[in-house]
Structure 1
Amino acid sequence: MKKIVIDPVTRIEGHLRVELIVDETNNVEEAYVSGQLFRGIETILKNRDPRDAGLMAGRICGVCTNSHFRAAVSCVEDAYALEVPKNAEIIRELIALALFIQDHVVHFYHLQLLDFVDVTSALEADPAQTVQTARSYSDDPFRNSQAHYENVQKRLQAFVNAGRLGPFANAYWGHSAYRLSPEENLVLLSHYLDALKFQTSISKAVAVFGGKTPHPQSIVVGGVTSVMDMLSPARVNEYLFTIKEAKEFIDRAYLPDMKLLVNAYRDEIKAGVGRANGNFISAGGFNFSGGTLFESGVIFEHDFNTLKPFDPENISEGVERAWYEKNDPQIPCYTDLNEDGSLKTEKRTDKYSWIKAPRYQGKTMECGPLARLLVNYIKKNTCMKPYVDRFLNETNLELIDLSTSIGRNAARAIETQYIAEYLFRFISDLLQNLTYHDTDTWGKYDFDALPKTARGEAFFEVPRGLLSHFVNIKEQKIANYSVIAPTTWNAGPKSLDGERGIYEEALTGIRIADTEKPLEALRIIRSFDPCLACAVHIIDLKGKVLHRYKIT
């Protein structure tokens, strides 16, 4: 037996450690995934005015800012049974869905892609042949010309010649797990660079109605404050233009690139590499006049013939293997590491992560784009299903093939294309309301007249999966606050009975070609788009003064 330690896992949000136990042939027999940083956002929220929850909870993460912002505000609205005007709901949806597009594209090109693309190989590509390679996956490839690819190669060579590789440094170039031809590598790397500009552009769509990004500030308890943006044809057109521009990149680059990846790694997909336990969960949401983007439902053990209803009452959260007090899951209880710095995992009662363990009917569940795709496909959602069928037909894949590490990326790409298309329906609904002189964006209420004691909850599908916020209000102050984020579901530790978390399950059984370069494991972890800042909820436990600042 041998132990492989990956710490930290890079190209993710937050601090994640992975320990793999491999046999003499480098097959992974067991995996332990650990969130390595404690954060105390829920503690910070205690005794605060409930109306401040959104602005503070939004600081849980610098990536998922709007997701927590909106969930916290909605949670308080649920506690007080406040009605939100239709226009405010649509504007919230427009902000959120623009974030979906940004998050998915950035994840694939800037976080996951280098696990499959060998940068050094791209320097050997024939630019003329690269043009033909791109045409194999799209009738109208994005920025597909010999001159463009020659320019990309020059930019890459400049990195090498300068000795400053930047994002391309410290990678496993030449690893046996890389499969792409030099021309395929060049196509994908050109889109890597194009996506840098895309990221800046799509952020404008979030900011149009959000006020700014990251950390939008336009959502308030009862509605939104971006009324002048809603009433301005120029601002609405700016949002529309940005989404149309994004849609072009998605259709001509993102989806074709995913088909290229599927073709190159088909054997791994068919072998089920990165497949977890087959339990999937989605809370659904995003309604418009013509339908619903995401339906709710639960799948167990890859049974695609049976879809169970989603019931929040079936959700529980354990801390037996996480560094918290058993009787109070908000009190830290760190048990230290072994003398060699490894996690304490010898006993089934050992604690080894700051991430708690959410369960649905006692089972570990996978959430995220793949879960949403499978639930909606089985439920025959007429909005999403045609996009899935088209991708499966064009790539000659089956539904089960998507339950893999590459399949997760494919599900994310399909979802991005689907959202970019249906976003215009939400805009249409907004304009229809305005046509009939419905300009309400805030539901007026008297805070002092609201109940002194209340409880609220909110469940949302966000880019990485199922997000839920819970608030307990006493004397019009937050008495208790709790968050279960998507990465908490996917990266949680084992149960006392040994049932693995989703990451751990997906890693178990794979083979590592080179234990000094565990690229295969990193591919699987990053396919979930981890966000540890969300999953672990920084305070100084000893009350130590960290810094002093003087303002003059």
Structure 2
Amino acid sequence: MARIAIDPITRIEGHLRIEAEVTSGKVADAWSSGTMFRGLEMILRERDPRDAWMFAQRACGVCTTVHALASVRAVENALGIVIPENARLVRNLIAGTQFLHDHVIHFYHLHALDWVDVVSATKADPAKTSTLAQSISAWPKSSTDYFKGIQSRLNAFVGTGQLGPFANGYWGHPAYTLEPEANLLAVAHYLEALEWQRDIVRIHAVLGGKNPHPQTYAVGGMALRMAPDSPTGLNSTSMAQIKTMLANARTFVDQVLIPDVTLVAGAYKSWFSVGKRIGNYMVYGDFTDQTGDAKTNMFPAGRILGRNLGRVESLDHQKISETVAHSYYEYEGDDTAGKHPWKGETNPKYQGPNPPFETLEGFDRYSWLKAPRYDGQAMEVGPLARVLVAYAAKQAEVVKAVDGLLSKLSLQPADLMSTMGRIAARALETQLLVPHLESWLGTLEKNMNSGNLAVADSKKWNPDSWPKEAEGVGFEEAPRGALGHWVVIKDKKIANYQLVVPSTWNGSPRDAKGQRGAWEEALLETPIADPEKPVEVLRTVHSFDPCMACAVHVYDPAGGSSVQVRVV
């Protein structure tokens, strides 16, 4: 038996420790430990609910807009506010653009290096790389000279001995099986994606004022002026700019991302049988069409239990609870009982880091993440959950896309429930989303040209119109999965606020019953070729795209105050 401890896990947002026990070349047990504390819920108490989104989006420097959106939805739900169609369309465009940006960046810059041997690319034949590139895509940057140039840059970089973002990789590891030419192709696209991501987020600058932390959200709609003939605001020129950026995004996704993911999936086909353990998937649902009816969501709501793709279970947020039996928190009363987020508590109880985790049969605490459960069951959330629920619900466009990929790889739908399946699902939903973005933009442009310029409803902006007490929940399907904000309003102030984020669902520690979270479960039975270089652990953990910055926030092993914040 061997113990593996990776601390911190890199190429994620935030700080994460993974510990695994390896027996007979496979992971026999695993522990996921978030090593920072998030006190955002405490910061929001007693504040004006209309301001909550400005604070909530600071949960993370990457997932900013998703928290802003979930927050305004929670307050709107509490106050019974229905936003205008234009506000819904603008929100869809901002959130959908976040998906495109996040998914592409995740594949190339956070996850690809688990499958791509950068140093191997220095030995590639650029002519053969060109032939490979042209065989899988019409992307124009595919000449021999182009790949010679990329390889020359790479050789110069490697030759310095200063590998920068490529340092500390397990290069030459036997788990890397791509040919040198495929590695060179992937490195070229890694570099191209750096340029691409800079352009796509300009849509956020147009619609949100800036990126990250957009400024145009508002309870009741969007603080954005629609004025087709004005030199400022959302006008005909900015609409045309967004249209061009979406067209460029479609080309990159279709001709670079999808072919590359298909290439990697085919080369590592055995990974469709790794990381399958949890089998329960949950989706809140998001992205309505012109009707605004949740039944028309691009991402339908629902749950899949026990890997059963023949049935989509219903969803009731009242059955969601968080337990803290193995977390650095305490509840008033029974720590082993779950609390619904409206009743949730954020009471830190840090006991000091205690790895290696030798005695988890009791109630030892080892993570700053709580353990969310639906009706007592652990759930996986994220792109794979969304694709599986939509597929099980027989959503035509998803069925066509999934069946097409499975046919190319000679796989079955159940094979998606895996490490490689998460990568494939993320790529597929990226491709599926682009036409919806173009459609939402088209509808918004049509409304603007017809004189329909309303973007906000201010009828309930005045707190004097609010009930004395109200509860609200704001759901959103963030790129990483089901995101929920719960707010309790009393006497015009926030009495309680709780965030339950995707990485809390997926990365949770064990609950009071000893049930593992999705990461811990997915790691079980993962093959490990070399415990000193556990790239296989990184492959499965990275397939979830962890964001610990959303899940937890401050870590001070010495005790006492790390920072003081004074509000004036």
Q: TM-score when scaled to structure 2?
A: 0.92
Q: 1:230 to 1:379 in 2, by over 3 A?
A: farther
The 8 Å contact of residues 230 and 236 in structure 1, kept in 2 or not, is answered as no
Question: What secondary structure, in the 3-state scheme, does the structure 1 residue paired with 2:476 have?
Answer: strand
The 5-angstrom pairing of residues 248-267 of structure 1 reads 248-267=251-270
The 5-angstrom pairing of residues 383-394 of structure 1 reads 383-394=397-408
* Alignment pair present for 1:514 and 2:514: no
The 5-angstrom pairing of residues 198-209 of structure 1 reads 198-209=196-207
The 8 Å contact of residues 348 and 496 in structure 1, kept in 2 or not, is answered as no
Range with greater deviation from structure 2 (528-537 or 458-467): 528-537
Question: What secondary structure, in the 3-state scheme, does the structure 1 residue paired with 2:452 have?
Answer: coil
Q: Which residue of 1 aligns with 2:337?
A: none
RMSD: 1.9
The 8 Å contact of residues 41 and 538 in structure 1, kept in 2 or not, is answered as no
* Alignment pair present for 1:313 and 2:321: no
* Alignment pair present for 1:297 and 2:302: yes
| Structure 1 runs, 4 residues or longer, greater than 6 Å off | 539-543
Instruction: Letter of the 1:497 partner, please give it.
Output: K
Q: 1:308 to 1:266 in 2, by over 3 A?
A: same
Range with greater deviation from structure 2 (70-79 or 323-332): 323-332
Superimposed CA distance per residue, residues 338-396 of structure 1 (whole angstroms, 9 cap, x where no aligned partner)? 4xx53464333111111111111211100100000000011111233222222222222
Q: Which residue of 1 aligns with 2:220?
A: 222
Deviation at 1:451, TM superposition (A): 2.2
Q: Which residue of 2 aligns with 1:4?
A: 4
The 5-angstrom pairing of residues 121-200 of structure 1 reads 121-138=120-137, 140-200=138-198
Question: What secondary structure, in the 3-state scheme, does the structure 2 residue paired with 1:285 have?
Answer: coil
Deviation at 1:268, TM superposition (A): 2.9
CA distance in 2, matches of 1:346, 1:442: 51
CA distance in 1, matches of 2:271, 2:563: 48
The 8 Å contact of residues 38 and 551 in structure 2, kept in 1 or not, is answered as no
Q: Which residue of 2 aligns with 1:57?
A: 56
CA distance in 1, matches of 2:256, 2:426: 14
Q: 1:29 to 1:231 in 2, by over 3 A?
A: closer
CA distance in 2, matches of 1:342, 1:107: 30
Instruction: Letter of the 1:377 partner, please give it.
Output: Y
* Alignment pair present for 1:372 and 2:386: yes
Q: 1:4 to 1:173 in 2, by over 3 A?
A: same
Question: What secondary structure, in the 3-state scheme, does the structure 1 residue paired with 2:346 have?
Answer: strand
Superimposed CA distance per residue, residues 407-450 of structure 1 (whole angstroms, 9 cap, x where no aligned partner)? 10110000000111221111122123224321101102223322
* Unaligned residue ranges in structure 1 (runs of 5+): none
Range with greater deviation from structure 2 (292-301 or 386-395): 386-395
Question: What secondary structure, in the 3-state scheme, does the structure 2 residue paired with 1:461 have?
Answer: strand
Superimposed CA distance per residue, residues 532-551 of structure 1 (whole angstroms, 9 cap, x where no aligned partner)? 111126398977474799xx
Range with greater deviation from structure 2 (423-432 or 349-358): 423-432
The match for 1:414 among 396, 403, 428 is 428
- Percent of pairs identical after alignment? 44
Instruction: Letter of the 1:35 partner, please give it.
Output: G
CA distance in 1, matches of 2:196, 2:485: 31
Q: Report the number of matched residues.
A: 543
Q: Which residue of 2 aligns with 1:451?
A: 467
The 8 Å contact of residues 348 and 498 in structure 1, kept in 2 or not, is answered as no
The 8 Å contact of residues 337 and 343 in structure 1, kept in 2 or not, is answered as no
* Alignment pair present for 1:72 and 2:71: yes
* Unaligned residue ranges in structure 2 (runs of 5+): 227-231, 333-343
Q: Which residue of 2 aligns with 1:357?
A: 371
Q: 1:545 to 1:304 in 2, by over 3 A?
A: closer
Q: Which residue of 1 aligns with 2:104?
A: 105
Question: What secondary structure, in the 3-state scheme, does the structure 2 residue paired with 1:136 have?
Answer: helix
Q: TM-score when scaled to structure 1?
A: 0.95
Instruction: Letter of the 1:433 partner, please give it.
Output: N
CA distance in 2, matches of 1:539, 1:31: 22
The 8 Å contact of residues 323 and 512 in structure 2, kept in 1 or not, is answered as no
Q: Which residue of 2 aligns with 1:212?
A: 210
Superimposed CA distance per residue, residues 283-317 of structure 1 (whole angstroms, 9 cap, x where no aligned partner)? 11211138431111110111111111122122111
Instruction: Letter of the 1:67 partner, please give it.
Output: V
CA distance in 2, matches of 1:129, 1:542: 57
Instruction: Letter of the 1:284 partner, please give it.
Output: G
Q: Which residue of 1 aligns with 2:278?
A: 277
The 5-angstrom pairing of residues 391-402 of structure 1 reads 391-402=405-416
CA distance in 1, matches of 2:368, 2:172: 35
CA distance in 1, matches of 2:553, 2:121: 41
Range with greater deviation from structure 2 (249-258 or 432-441): 432-441
Deviation at 1:2, TM superposition (A): 2.2
Question: What secondary structure, in the 3-state scheme, does the structure 1 residue paired with 2:297 have?
Answer: strand
The 8 Å contact of residues 299 and 386 in structure 2, kept in 1 or not, is answered as yes
Instruction: Letter of the 1:262 partner, please give it.
Output: A
CA distance in 2, matches of 1:356, 1:167: 31
Deviation at 1:227, TM superposition (A): 1.5
Deviation at 1:147, TM superposition (A): 1.0
The 5-angstrom pairing of residues 460-479 of structure 1 reads 460-479=476-495
Instruction: Letter of the 1:168 partner, please give it.
Output: F
The 8 Å contact of residues 276 and 503 in structure 1, kept in 2 or not, is answered as no
The 8 Å contact of residues 371 and 511 in structure 2, kept in 1 or not, is answered as yes
Deviation at 1:509, TM superposition (A): 1.0
